Amino acid sequence: MRCIPLLPFLIAGLFLLSVIPVACGAQAGSDAGISPALAGPGCDLAIAGVVNPVAGTVFADMGNTIRIVRIRNNGPGPSPGTEVELRASDGFTGRTAVPPLASGEEITVSIRDPTIRRTTGLTVTYTAIVDPDNLVQESDETDNRKTSTEKTVTWNGYAGKRYTRGEDVTTYRTFDLPGGLVHSFGDSAYRSGSFPAGWTEFSVTWTGADLPLSPDAVVREARLYVPYTWDNSNEAGRVTLSFNGVPVTRQAWYQDRSDFGAYADHAYGLLTYDVTSQFRKGGENSAVFSRTDSNAKISMYGFTLAVVYEDPAAVRSLIFMNEGFDILGADENGYGTTPDEATAYVPFSGLTIDTSQVSHAMLTTFVPSAGIEGNLSVNGRWIASDVWDYGSAGGTQVAVDTRDIRAYLRPDGNEVAIQSSPAGATPVIAASQQFLVVELGGQGAGGSHEVPFPCVGALTGAILAFWWMEWKRTSSVRIRS
């Protein structure tokens, strides 16, 4: 009902019955959300600001937080506590509380719209109504409603690709061999496309010491990873590369972009090249990168050259080479993304692991643009925070972390998650190439503690056999530091 002034009624001269409404000047409380108060001077609740989703965009495949900005009491008297209702043009309705406001006081509130919109390109509008049940007596009832402009449903590129129906950072190739994997940035560094502008090519060199291999090692694959950023003119589709003087064709191209905001048209990505046949084992190797537009903004992170080798003197290794590109940014106020949403996933597939034979499981993660930030999960367990730091701006601007994840390993279905953590305004990191090298049968396989062997002369063969089987069964696992 509408709140009206306090009305006393004398009934049969026996007692006074009071009907107690909410007037301007009332306070919040009681089962109905109000408590009695005398009517004061008039209040006027209005929505003085805008009704707008975070980042000004409605995102597909995720909930959206809507801000109702500057709910204000324009009247000379205080207003009681009430509610504001939010209505989406495609069906959602939600409410939240508005506290009592003094004259001239204002507040901004948020309501979460959990609707999952599966189709991009559709439009949505939101309407907010303060005091939706018309319970507060106001001097002006015409300014309680505000409708947003039309919002187009768009992907949120700062969320992981699982939220945008894109691809994870998946396994490109596996190896099962006696050997391993080495990698190096060589002398590469971040190369801005604009500062200075005017360049069309540059070179990167790796010495033999950058990628140490024994004389008996045989190179099974040499792979070059070329990550980039700031591409707002599709220059990545026109670049060329030569390796040791031989033009090489791009083998894969992974891309991502924010899709909204000031940098909606700026693409990030990873170009990969198979340079096995051009690679010089033990010698100097060089790559020359060329672009066609000398004033393009495309900027290059440091290049990674990775070599998988076979060596009869090495332990047996299962090698997983994953690649992709997924930009991430956890910023609920700026991007509308939580850390859970700003997560990239790296599933390793193609080989089954006998975990009882694992001596080490070395995970190497590459995260461009990460500076003292990010969380790492292995098979659903968050094991580290502030994992990545690319160091000085004059370096590669690609952060690398290597650690033994043997304690978390499964026979198959292993999956790593790389998560953006809140790191100030407008954060951005990326997940690119990732390596997992599982060593089998080396020192520490099946357990890593030392157990003194008992005197054989004091035991019968049966007792000795029993003791040995029990030791193997209870042998513990320890991560090598």
- Token pair belonging to 293: 């537009």
Residue carrying the six token digits 């965009």: 57
The two three-digit tokens of residue 413, written as one number:
């279905």
Instruction: Tell which residue, 79, 57, 81, 84, has the closest CA to residue 68.
Output: 84
Sign of the Cα pseudo-torsion (364, 370, 372, 376, in order): negative
Q: Are 361 and 409 in contact (CB under 8 A)?
A: yes
Task: Render 443-459 in DSSP notation, one character per residue.
Answer: TTTT-----PPPPGGGS
pLDDT of residue 41: 56
Separation CA 253–CA 185 (nearest Å)? 19
What pLDDT is recorded for position 51? 99
Closest by CA to 187, choosing from 168, 167, 198, 202, is: 202
pLDDT for the residue numbered 425: 81
- What is the model's pLDDT at position 172? 98
CA–CA separation, 25 vs 27, rounded Å?
A: 7
- Note the pLDDT of residue 101: 98
For the four alpha carbons of 386, 391, 392 and 395, in that order, the dihedral sign comes to: negative
Return phi, psi of residue 21, to 5°: -90, -175
Say if residues 152 and 174 touch (Cβ distance below 8 Å). Answer: no
The pair of structure tokens assigned to 420 is: 């953006």
Cβ-in-10-Å burial (0-12, 13-18, 19+) of 449 comes to exposed
CA distance 337 to 213: 44
The position carrying tokens 């009869």 is: 312
CA 118/CA 138 separation, integer angstroms: 41
d(CA 315, CA 195): 46
Paired strand residues for 253: 271
pLDDT in tens, the chain (481 residues): 333 333 333 333 333 333 344 556 554 433 334 433 323 359 999 999 999 999 999 999 999 999 999 999 999 999 999 999 999 999 999 999 999 999 999 999 999 999 999 999 999 999 999 999 999 999 999 999 999 999 999 999 999 999 889 999 999 999 999 999 999 999 999 999 999 989 999 999 999 999 999 999 999 999 999 999 999 999 999 999 999 999 999 999 999 999 999 999 999 999 999 999 999 999 999 999 999 999 999 999 999 999 999 999 999 999 999 999 999 999 999 999 999 999 999 999 999 999 999 999 999 999 999 999 999 999 999 999 999 999 999 999 999 999 999 999 999 999 999 999 998 788 999 999 999 999 998 665 543 322 333 333 333 333 333 333 333 333 332 222 2
- Paired residues of 43 in beta bridges: 138
CA-closest candidate to residue 235, choices 193, 202, 198 = 193
pLDDT of residue 23: 54
Query: Exposed (0-12), middle (13-18) or buried (19+): which is 361, by Cβ within 10 Å?
Result: buried
Amino acid in the structure at residue 161? K
Question: How far is it, in rounded angstroms, from Cα 197 to Cα 150?
Answer: 39
